Structure 1
Amino acid sequence: MDFAAQRHALVAQLRAAQDVSEPVAAAMLAVPRHLFVPGVEPEAAYRDEPIVTKLDADGRPISSSSQPAIMATMLDQLDVRPGHRVLEIGAGTGYNAALLARLVGPEGRVVALDLDEDTVEQAREHLAAAGVSGVEVLCRDGAAGHPEPAPYDRLIATVGVWDLAPAWLAQLRPDGRLVVPLDLRGVQVSAAMERDGERWVSRSVAPCGFMRMRGSFTGTEAVVVARQDPMLMLMLPEPREVGDVPAALDAAPTEITVRREEAAPPFTVAMGMALWLALHEPRWCALSGDFGSGPGFTAGVVEPGGIALLAVSGSLVARGHGEAGARLAAELAAHVRAWDEAGRPEASALRIEAHPHAPATGATPAGGGAVVIEKRHTTLVLGFG
């Protein structure tokens, strides 16, 4: 079976929920995703869900087939045209490369890179099984790109990236475009960026979440096990001292009700606040895992004396735990009010500028009200509106 009906149902579901262009929809209708995840039941391959395909020695996911919804979003951000040369960072199962091959057509070319030889071999096998041509899959550290076929018209990363690699910018055409899941102090956004003089400027931004890039371009994010049973994971934008978080979470909380009637879904509120805190609060954190009623995600503030977290259940509450919990809850509530007063800006309203090779003096190109994030190779300047 080729499961064409399942592909049609998946694409119809995506188009009912978001804008999907005709070329991207046609590619998703044509490419059989189940052939790229052979260990998964074919029906499951056509759900709008990510599929983990590889774990590291500690049981952490390091490779997957991404959620079709975000794949469609990023492919439309990329704006691939027939005949384009495309470089993909993170080959994974090969499915995204197959979609790219449909978009570039027989006159185009797709090069996909992955850090692990076994992943590369499997991607090649999947592409061959699906009858896809025009894709070269190579075992490379994606941070260096692949200069031989450069320049590329488009570059896409399907792993979370901490910074824009100089090699990527050098290997793109002057009018080229890149789309990457870019880290903003621990929060990822899919940023479509183009050159504007000496800087790179976002053309569109969308929320996303990807496994982080490994190899020479690993970022600063840190994950701490906050509790083993039930499992809770604390995510920090960089390693820092947070004290005894499990003990703090076991302490009776101090609660501040910020909004008595909260209509937005809990995950939407948590994601919106995560982005706001990432840009405005150096002590911010995210907590994910089993909250007692199933998987969940929330954002907050943590320091050695305690932790404060958002809770959404009919009302919007800042809940503080530990010795400093009351103070942290009040500070988190103030952030929520500021986010409210700003109109609850979303990732799509974000403008990102990347200025390569920031001056060593520490001077930044920020204007009034801009948020500046220093990276290894670029200075990011961010603002809403």
Structure 2
Amino acid sequence: MDFAKQREAMVAQLRKRQDVSEAVAAAMLAVPRHLFVPDVAPEDAYRDEPIVTKLDAQGRPISSSSQPAIMATMLDQLAVEPGHRVLEIGAGTGYNAALLAHLTGPEGRVVSVDIDEDIVTRARAHLSGAGLPQVEVVCRDGACGHPERAPYDRLIATVGVWDLAPAWLEQLSADGRLVVPLDLRGVQVSAAMERAGDHWASRSVAPCGFMRMRGPFAGTEVVTVLRQDPHVALALPEPREVGDVLSALEAAPTEITVKMEEAASPFAVVMGLSLWLALHEPRWCAVTGKLSGRGYGATAGIVEGDSIALLFMEGALVARGHGAGGAKLAAELAAHVKAWDEAGRPEAGGLRIEAHQGPVSGRPLVIAKRHTTLVLDYG
């Protein structure tokens, strides 16, 4: 098999759908992804899909090779230059570290840290097999960074993070940049951030979805498996009491069709509305799985007590309420959709994020974290 042609086809596909810089495209053309996922058929390694490489004891994915599309987006957000020193949080297969090594060149340095020794061992082996033994892969909690090689010009996390770890900010140079999949009450965005006086400010924001960070720096999100077969899970941005949601979902729903003057792509609706709900609705939730014979998928909604309302794209956008209070929740969910529509259907790309140390008052959208306070504003 001609792996170079496989890489060319993958990059060509990406560049049809999104902007990819010449530097990042060249790295993806040069680095053989199939060497980093040896248990996958080589032709599958060059699909624009994530590849799960490790499950936990409950069968949940905890490590992967990320989807090439979001890898390209984040690498362009990072803006790596030859000679840069780069710290990566989350080693995965080592593929992203290999792309970083190509971007930094022989005068640069790439350090990748991961909490799992077996992942570190495999990433080292993959990098060595690809001719990149100079990439340093270290086993430790990523929240600690790697102070031995600091300061860094760039820092990237390839795992979902709930807060900006103080160690990362301390280990970045004065003009450094970080790119992380940042949690905004259960919704992730890839935020590229730099220092702006006494705080950090985003330079670009893009939608994304990553496995969450584990260990002491894990966030507040709670995922409850409601049913194993067929699988249904409920995700909440933080712990709170809910009722018998599964029984509600199995009951006949109340449906409200939400009319919008112009059609929108299902992806834009799901991503835009999920973020809107996360920032404006304290009862918001996400549900994944097979619901009422409609196949496997993911959607957002509102859950309260034994009642739940969820959004579905079925030609038109439908708010479907279940349980005793389902009709009320469906109406409230439809009202959120109309508010989002009237606000111009804001998406992650139009979001501005500031990260402050200490509390912030007088701003409309504020999320308090352990170490920072996030201030958000749609541009």
TM over 0.5: yes
In the TM superposition, residue 290 of structure 1 has moved relative to its aligned partner by 2.1
In the TM superposition, residue 260 of structure 1 has moved relative to its aligned partner by 7.2
Write out aligned runs for 1:189-338 (5 A). Answer: 189-259=189-259, 263-291=263-291, 292-338=293-339
Indicate how the Cα distance of structure 1 residues 308 and 264 shifts in structure 2: closer, same or farther if over 3 A, else same.
same
Q: Hey, what's the Cα distance between the residues in 1 that align with 2:60 and 2:227?
A: 16
Alpha-carbon contact 2:124-2:133 (below 8 Å) kept = no
Q: Deviations over 1:161-194 (max 9, x none)?
A: 0000000000000100000000000000000000
Instruction: Quote the residue 1:346 is aligned against.
Output: 347
Indicate how the Cα distance of structure 1 residues 305 and 49 shifts in structure 2: closer, same or farther if over 3 A, else same.
same
Q: Hey, what's the Cα distance between the residues in 1 that align with 2:260 and 2:373?
A: 40
Q: Hey, what's the Cα distance between the residues in 1 that align with 2:170 and 2:259?
A: 48
Query: Runs in 1 of length 4+ with deviation above 4 angstroms?
Result: none
Amino acid in structure 2 at the alignment position of 1:110: V
Q: Deviations over 1:202-243 (max 9, x none)?
A: 000000000000112010000011333321111110111110
Equivalent of 1:373 in 352, 359, 367: 367
Indicate how the Cα distance of structure 1 residues 365 and 176 shifts in structure 2: closer, same or farther if over 3 A, else same.
farther
Describe the SS at the equivalent of 2:147. coil
Q: Hey, what's the Cα distance between the residues in 1 that align with 2:362 and 2:377?
A: 10
Q: Hey, what's the Cα distance between the residues in 2 that align with 1:139 and 1:172?
A: 20
Q: Hey, what's the Cα distance between the residues in 2 that align with 1:194 and 1:115?
A: 26
Q: Does 372-381 or 315-324 show the bigger shift?
A: 315-324
Describe the SS at the equivalent of 1:251. coil
Instruction: Quote the residue 2:30 is aligned against.
Output: 30
Q: Hey, what's the Cα distance between the residues in 2 that align with 1:63 and 1:218?
A: 15
Indicate how the Cα distance of structure 1 residues 323 and 53 shifts in structure 2: closer, same or farther if over 3 A, else same.
same
In the TM superposition, residue 149 of structure 1 has moved relative to its aligned partner by 1.0
Q: Hey, what's the Cα distance between the residues in 2 that align with 1:318 and 1:178?
A: 38
Instruction: Quote the residue 1:164 is aligned against.
Output: 164
Q: Hey, what's the Cα distance between the residues in 2 that align with 1:378 and 1:2?
A: 48
Q: Does 126-135 or 104-113 show the bigger shift?
A: 126-135
Amino acid in structure 1 at the alignment position of 2:203: R
TM-score (norm 2): 0.97
Q: Deviations over 1:242-280 (max 9, x none)?
A: 100011011111111111787334343122111000000
Question: Please, which runs of 5 or more residues in structure 1 have no aligned partner?
Answer: none
Amino acid in structure 2 at the alignment position of 1:81: E
Question: What is the identity percentage for the equivalent residue pairs of Structure 1 and Structure 2?
Answer: 77
Amino acid in structure 1 at the alignment position of 2:324: E
Instruction: Quote the residue 1:77 is aligned against.
Output: 77
Describe the SS at the equivalent of 1:201. strand
Question: Please, which runs of 5 or more residues in structure 2 have no aligned partner?
Answer: none
Q: Hey, what's the Cα distance between the residues in 2 that align with 1:161 and 1:74?
A: 14
Instruction: Quote the residue 2:123 is aligned against.
Output: 123
Q: Hey, what's the Cα distance between the residues in 2 that align with 1:288 and 1:171?
A: 37
Q: Hey, what's the Cα distance between the residues in 1 that align with 2:153 and 2:330?
A: 48
Alpha-carbon contact 2:260-2:341 (below 8 Å) kept = no
Alpha-carbon contact 1:306-1:321 (below 8 Å) kept = yes
Q: Does 59-68 or 133-142 show the bigger shift?
A: 133-142
Q: Does 74-83 or 267-276 show the bigger shift?
A: 267-276
In the TM superposition, residue 315 of structure 1 has moved relative to its aligned partner by 1.2
Describe the SS at the equivalent of 1:216. coil
Q: Hey, what's the Cα distance between the residues in 2 that align with 1:297 and 1:262?
A: 23
Describe the SS at the equivalent of 1:224. strand
Describe the SS at the equivalent of 1:215. coil
Alpha-carbon contact 2:81-2:104 (below 8 Å) kept = yes
Instruction: Quote the residue 1:103 is aligned against.
Output: 103
